[in-house]
Structures are given as structure tokens and as C-alpha cells.
Structure 1
Amino acid sequence: MARSWTRLHEFLGSSPGPVTYEMVADAVRRKLRESDDLDWKETLPATSPVKGEWNEFAKDVAAMANTRGGLLVYGISDTIDMVGIDLSSVDDKQLGQWLRVHLQPAVSGVSYLQLPATDGSGKDVLVVDIPASETAPHFLYGWQQKDKDKSTFNAPFRHRDDTAYMAEHQVAGAYRERFTRQDAAEAALERHVRYAADLVLGESEHRPTAWLIVAARPARPIPRMVPALTREEARWVIEQGATRARKLIDGAFQMPRLLGPQLFPHLLSNDPRRGLRRWVDTNLLVPARATRRRGVLMELHQDGTVVAAVDLSHDALPADRTTTAVELPVASWHLISAVFETIALAHENRQALHADSSMDLQAVLQTHDTDARFTPVVLDYGRPDIAEWARQPSIMQPAHGELTPFADDATLTAAARELAEGLLHQFGIDIPG
């Protein structure tokens, strides 16, 4: 999946979306000049790199990834005229292999868009879309014939419409930026989790509760030109998220009824209201919408972050069942469902915002009763039962994960399972199925 906001979109005034042949042709006709994130190429990369020369394709990709991402467009001459290429000669597997062999670390997320001519000219083009890299700087391996074929190792970058190589201080700066960016992303995710925890725990101080907080945040910012979701769009995202979550859950477990009804559609009415740069749907906080049902909070942030909080302890055991020895019963099947639903919702929200970034994930169990122990509740012969054989920790470590940019259902399922297992394994239990 290619990026949805590029130099072509900005120049042409197009809405976020896929790059099309018409966009390339229009930009060529209007003589859009090369820049640090756009490079016109007349011919395809050589099929077999020559010893003693850089792998030019790997160099160009690394330069874009080390700067801010960009497009390599093949089939456009130096005079910015459409000349076309032979799409049958494009071997994206070979191109990807070159990146893995010649770059360290390899650049991920590169897309190869083969765009046949739609104007009858027969002048097809290939667009190679390179996202800005979170693992920059990327170094290029190569050979130089002088000095006895000595191997060399450089980090290319784009400077306006040219490619240069980083000096030592630039390499050091690139590493500082990488680590600073990672630290800032982790801190932002922690703030979202902490705020949600403070909010929901403040609503339940009158009784001991175990709250699950799940947050998903894009590793890269949403493009500035992407408009915030309208209320109807937010409702559509929530609806689509619920549909996808049900599909993921049904496909992941041999006993689909194990989880019971999905939490979000069951407990919320899909009636999001405005919050501070976010849409909020909850059965808490609004007195007129107060409920005795399990508490749920869901937030869709303008920066692409999704936060969900679910009270896993409320009505976790049957009313006629004594809970004298149970301090914080945690409904494990609802934990699983909530994680799957949040992952599905985050994915749908990311697509609606045309985001192509990976997402950092975090899930944690929180309570205001610091002396209580979390007690897992499982299904035994179809009824809730305390897992007396399981561990009952008083402190739970956060579970972390990552959702890749171009995730299919199998990838979403794997991410959800990993995140849920990160909590359940602390009880010494596994996800069934």
C-alpha cells in the first residue's frame, strides 16, 4: 500500500489517495520540477549492477528514506516529458532484493506502482513510493575500483533535487533524531494511556475495579492536509471497526461464542461526541447516559490515536456467586475481545485518515486499589469461573506491540493476539483456540 499524500498531491491540489497515471501525466504536463521528495527517471534501473559502481536504485531509495520519503517516477525524461517504460520489464522482487542486499538497515514499506497509460499514448510509468523511514540513517554498500576494489559504506540523502552523502556530523544527527523520535512516540503513547486511566478510575472510586486500557498511536504524524473526521465519518469508522473485529474474532478462535457479544457495539450506541481534538463515545461521564452496564470509553483522536478503556471487573461473576476472596476479578474473554476490537478500530481509523504509518500499541490493566490482586476469570463449561490455578498479581506490566503499515486480517489478528497474550501470560494462562 503506497502513501496517500505525496508531492504530486500537494502540487496538483488533489485529495489524499492513491497516485494515478492521470496525476503523473498532469504533473509532467505542468512541468513539476524535481525536489527532495520527487525524482523523475527516464529509464528503469539496470537489470544487473556493475561491480565498481553503486547500485543506483538502492542509492536513490536510501536517499529518499533518509530525508523525508518521496517518489521515484520512471518513464519521465530529464526535460520532464513523458517517454514511458516497458512495464513487462519491471521486476519488483529483484528491486526489493537489491534493497535488502545493498542497504543497511534495509528500507521497508517501499511500494511499486505500475501505471499503464490511460490516454492511449502507450507511455506507461512506474512509480516507486518510499516512505520516510523511522530507522534512518540507511547506509549503502558498494565498491570503488580505485584503492584495490575497496568496499565503501555511505549514507545518501536528498538535497533539493540532488543526492549527496552524509558527513559524520550528519550521520550523528540522524541517529539522534531517530532515538529522539522513538522516545517522543513512546512518551506520547504513555500520556494517552495515563490520561485514560486517570479518567476512568476517577469514575469508579467507590468500588474496586480492574480497567483495561488499550492505545494505538501512529509512529509518524498524520499529513497536515488531511482533514479531521466528521461525526458521520467517525460513526462509519466505529461501525467498520466492529464489523472487522467480529470477522477477526470469528476467524481466530475455534469457538466463536467463547467471547460472547462484542463489547463496543453491545455497550455503546455509536453516538460519538466532540472532545478535545477527538471523538468520544462512552457510557460514562454523561449523567443522562449513565448505565449499570460494564463501563466503556472509546476515543478517536485527530492525530490518528485510538484509545479504549473497558471495566473488566463489573459483573464479571454471577450475582449468586460469592466474591469474598476475589478482589479484582478480570474477565479474560472480555479482555481478549476488547483488544481485538481496539486493533480493528485503530486500523479502520488509520485508513479513514489516509495514514500509512505503523502504529505503536500498548495495553495495561489499571486499578486505584493498589493493595488488591488481579484475579483472572475464565469460562469453565460455559460459565464464568475463577481460575484458581492461575497467578494473581498485584502489579501488571504493560504489554507492547506494533501494527505494520499495510496490515491484512492475518496481520491484525497476530497483533491482537500478541497484545492480549502480553497481559494474559502474566496470569499464566493462554488465549484458547
Structure 2
Amino acid sequence: MPIMWSRLHAELGLSPTPLTHAMVVRAVEAGMAEADDLDWKQALPPEVEKKRLEFAKDIAAMANTRGGLIVHGVREENERAVGLTGVPNGERDRQALRSFANRYVRPLVDGLQIEALDGEAGEPGLVAVFVPPSPDTPHVIGEKNEMGVPYRYGTDTNWMSESQLERAYRDRFTRRGDDRAALDALIDGLIPEIDLKQGVWVAVVARPVAPLPLLSGRPEREGVTSTMLNALELVSEVFGKSQGRVPVLNELLSDGPIINPRNGLRRWVIRSNHYSTDPHELVDCALVELHHDGSVALAMGCSSSCVVPASPTGSPMFGRCL
């Protein structure tokens, strides 16, 4: 998956879109300044132990703060980009960087992306390293008895004190508890909407582990429709219509629920009985909620009217994922 959002996007006034060589060129021409979530590097770390640790330190520091972007191949002066130097960005070069991070950073930074950015013929290549905001902070670097916990403070990298480390671990455990509570709330929000007397229901909820970029406003209706149509197409590709799994979600295509989703409280709602005039009527087959914070809640009925026979117990089945 390409790098879709970063400080560079925000400074250039761009919406989420794959990061490109041309964007970096624009940032350099504008003299974009470094920040706690943007770092310019002139070269790749050489095959020297100390420099490898320095690279790992940069990764851990951003992960321990709020994530960020490191671009190798950009020269800076006074913390502002002033020119492209270029770096080797082949598969072997990028794999070496990933190996450094995997060796020295604990726990591993999930979702770390290392991409090659190539411009037109003759332009120097770049390597972009995207460090996501991590739910597993604090991340420690080093080996054996030489270990530390770095973090970003503006454009500087500092080391956590004992009290800061204590707070970081406390925040991690609190965050995990909040994540579980948020998933429970999504499930609880589905239950009043579905008719459990119809048989077995399968419900799945998910939410981002990192907050979405600060965009202008909530998702628009057209974007919600496009997202759902793409999701149904993906279901068809993965499972195949012949296996009977697609018709459940295809209930949402009939009579246009996907084309005209309902605008709920901080969410868009797509339901199989979209045109019901009874406000107390329960969903009879399929329900999807796309929340403005990126969370998704899905409930599918498994009664004979949908796809598969119902369980004699008629009990709901629920799943949660982060």
C-alpha cells in the first residue's frame, strides 16, 4: 500500500493520495521545514553499526511521538530542504533499512513503509520511510545492556526519562482498554437495529488503530457509495459469486440503498430495508455503518431468506478486530 498521508501532504495542501517523487520536488522548491513528523536525510545509513542505530533511533522516536515521514535523498540547511541529492533505492537498499529497523527496534513498528520514489529519467531517486503512529509505544532501541527510548521534540530527538517511560507504558495499557471499549460500543450500536428473531446474525466491527488525517469535514455521500461498491467488487474477486457469499451484501444493491445511504449521527448507514417508513422496523438482512472516524460496523443475517439456514438457537454471532 502506498504512503497516502504525511506532513508533506498537509503542507502542500493535498488530500490523501500516493506520495510521489514530484511531491518531494515541490516540497524542496518550497523550502519545506522539518518538524516532529518530517525529517530530511541526505544519504542512506552506511554499513556502520553506529549509523544503523541512528536510523533505528529515528524510527523509534517518530513511532513514540505521533509518527511521521523520513525522506532520504534530500539535502537540508537550517532544517529546511534545499536540494535533491538522491540515494540508491533498489529493493536491496530498502530491505537493508527494514532489517535495521527489525533488528534494533522493540517491539516492531507495525505498518512501517519503506518506498522507492523515482522521478523522470535523469532525476535522482529517493527513499521515503513512513512511520505510522504506533499503538504499541513505547518502542525501545538497542541491544543487551545498551538500550533507550527516544522520542521527537520538534526537530530534535530526546531520550525518555523514567517518569516519561512510566507514563508511556501506562498510556499503552489505557489505550488498549479504550480500544476494546470502542469495539464493544460499535457492537452494542448494531444490536438494536437488527432482528435477532430472523435467525443467526454475523456482526463484524473494526476501527483504525491510528486516527485519520485531519481532513475537511465528513465523508460525502458519493465517497460512501464508491467505497461500498469497491468493497462489493473486492468481495466478488476474493470469494467468487458462485460460492453464495456475495448475495448477502447484494441485498444492499437492490432498490438503491448503496446509492442513497442514510446520514446518521457521525456515520453513514446502509441497510437492506432502506425505504421502510416504520422508524421502529429492524433490519432484515444486511446493515453497514461507515463512521466518520474510519470505524466500520457490519451485520449480516444468515436466515434462509438471505443465504444459509439459520441456527436452531437463533443466537447472534459477533466478531471484533482492530
The 1:317/1:70 distance shift into structure 2, 3 A limit, reads closer
TM-score by length of 1: 0.65
Alpha-carbon separation, structure 2, partners of 1:208 and 1:296: 12
2:111 to 109, 112, 121: 109
Indicate whether 1:330 and 2:315 are aligned.
Answer: no
Deviation digits for residues 126-155 of structure 1 (CA, Å, limit 9, x no counterpart): 221111111111111158xxxxxxx31101
2:313 to 373, 376, 381: 373
Alpha-carbon separation, structure 2, partners of 1:193 and 1:293: 15
The 1:122/1:195 distance shift into structure 2, 3 A limit, reads closer
What is the correspondence of 1:227-376 to structure 2 with a 5 Å cutoff? 227-250=217-240, 257-259=242-244, 262-266=247-251, 268-269=253-254, 270=258, 271-284=260-273, 286-288=275-277, 294-313=284-303, 315=305, 330=310, 373-374=313-314
Alpha-carbon separation, structure 1, partners of 2:288 and 2:148: 46
Shift of residue 32, structure 1, vs aligned partner: 1.7
The 1:191/1:48 distance shift into structure 2, 3 A limit, reads same
Amino acid at match of 1:106: L
Alpha-carbon separation, structure 2, partners of 1:168 and 1:317: 57
Q: Is the Cα–Cα contact under 8 Å of residues 202 and 317 in structure 2 kept in the other structure?
A: no
Indicate whether 1:29 and 2:29 are aligned.
Answer: yes
Indicate whether 1:210 and 2:150 are aligned.
Answer: no
Alpha-carbon separation, structure 1, partners of 2:167 and 2:28: 35
The 1:141/1:266 distance shift into structure 2, 3 A limit, reads same
SS of 2:232 mapped into structure 1: helix
What is the correspondence of 1:58-77 to structure 2 with a 5 Å cutoff? 58-77=56-75
Aligned Cα root-mean-square deviation (Å)? 3.0
Q: Is the Cα–Cα contact under 8 Å of residues 74 and 84 in structure 2 kept in the other structure?
A: yes
Alpha-carbon separation, structure 2, partners of 1:289 and 1:258: 34
SS of 2:75 mapped into structure 1: coil
Amino acid at match of 1:122: E
Match of 2:189 in 1: 195
Amino acid at match of 2:46: A
Alpha-carbon separation, structure 1, partners of 2:105 and 2:151: 13
Shift of residue 195, structure 1, vs aligned partner: 1.2
Shift of residue 88, structure 1, vs aligned partner: 5.1
SS of 1:8 mapped into structure 2: helix
TM-score by length of 2: 0.85
SS of 1:176 mapped into structure 2: helix
Indicate whether 1:85 and 2:86 are aligned.
Answer: yes
Alpha-carbon separation, structure 2, partners of 1:246 and 1:268: 14
Alpha-carbon separation, structure 2, partners of 1:134 and 1:127: 22
Amino acid at match of 1:216: A
Amino acid at match of 2:310: V
Shift of residue 273, structure 1, vs aligned partner: 2.1
Match of 1:183 in 2: 177
SS of 2:70 mapped into structure 1: strand
Q: Is the Cα–Cα contact under 8 Å of residues 3 and 18 in structure 1 kept in the other structure?
A: yes
Amino acid at match of 2:16: P
Q: Is the Cα–Cα contact under 8 Å of residues 248 and 307 in structure 2 kept in the other structure?
A: no
Indicate whether 1:42 and 2:42 are aligned.
Answer: yes
Shift of residue 175, structure 1, vs aligned partner: 1.2
The 1:2/1:179 distance shift into structure 2, 3 A limit, reads farther
What is the correspondence of 1:418-429 to structure 2 with a 5 Å cutoff? none
The 1:47/1:199 distance shift into structure 2, 3 A limit, reads same
Aligned-pair identity (%): 32
Shift of residue 288, structure 1, vs aligned partner: 4.4
The 1:297/1:398 distance shift into structure 2, 3 A limit, reads closer
Report the number of matched residues. Answer: 313
Alpha-carbon separation, structure 2, partners of 1:266 and 1:284: 9
Based on CA coordinates, which of the two structures has the bigger radius of gyration? 1
Amino acid at match of 2:234: R
Shift of residue 124, structure 1, vs aligned partner: 2.8
Alpha-carbon separation, structure 1, partners of 2:218 and 2:307: 41
Q: Is the Cα–Cα contact under 8 Å of residues 283 and 289 in structure 1 kept in the other structure?
A: no
Amino acid at match of 1:128: V
Shift of residue 239, structure 1, vs aligned partner: 1.4
Indicate whether 1:162 and 2:151 are aligned.
Answer: no
The 1:2/1:159 distance shift into structure 2, 3 A limit, reads farther
The 1:289/1:72 distance shift into structure 2, 3 A limit, reads same
Q: Is the Cα–Cα contact under 8 Å of residues 82 and 123 in structure 1 kept in the other structure?
A: no
Q: Give unpaired runs (5+ residues) of structure 1.
A: 144-150, 251-255, 319-328, 332-371, 375-393, 403-433
Alpha-carbon separation, structure 2, partners of 1:54 and 1:261: 49
Deviation digits for residues 329-355 of structure 1 (CA, Å, limit 9, x no counterpart): 626xxxxxxxxxxxxxxxxxxxxxxxx
Deviation digits for residues 229-253 of structure 1 (CA, Å, limit 9, x no counterpart): 3222222222111111111112xxx
Q: Is the Cα–Cα contact under 8 Å of residues 294 and 315 in structure 1 kept in the other structure?
A: no
Q: Is the Cα–Cα contact under 8 Å of residues 267 and 293 in structure 1 kept in the other structure?
A: no
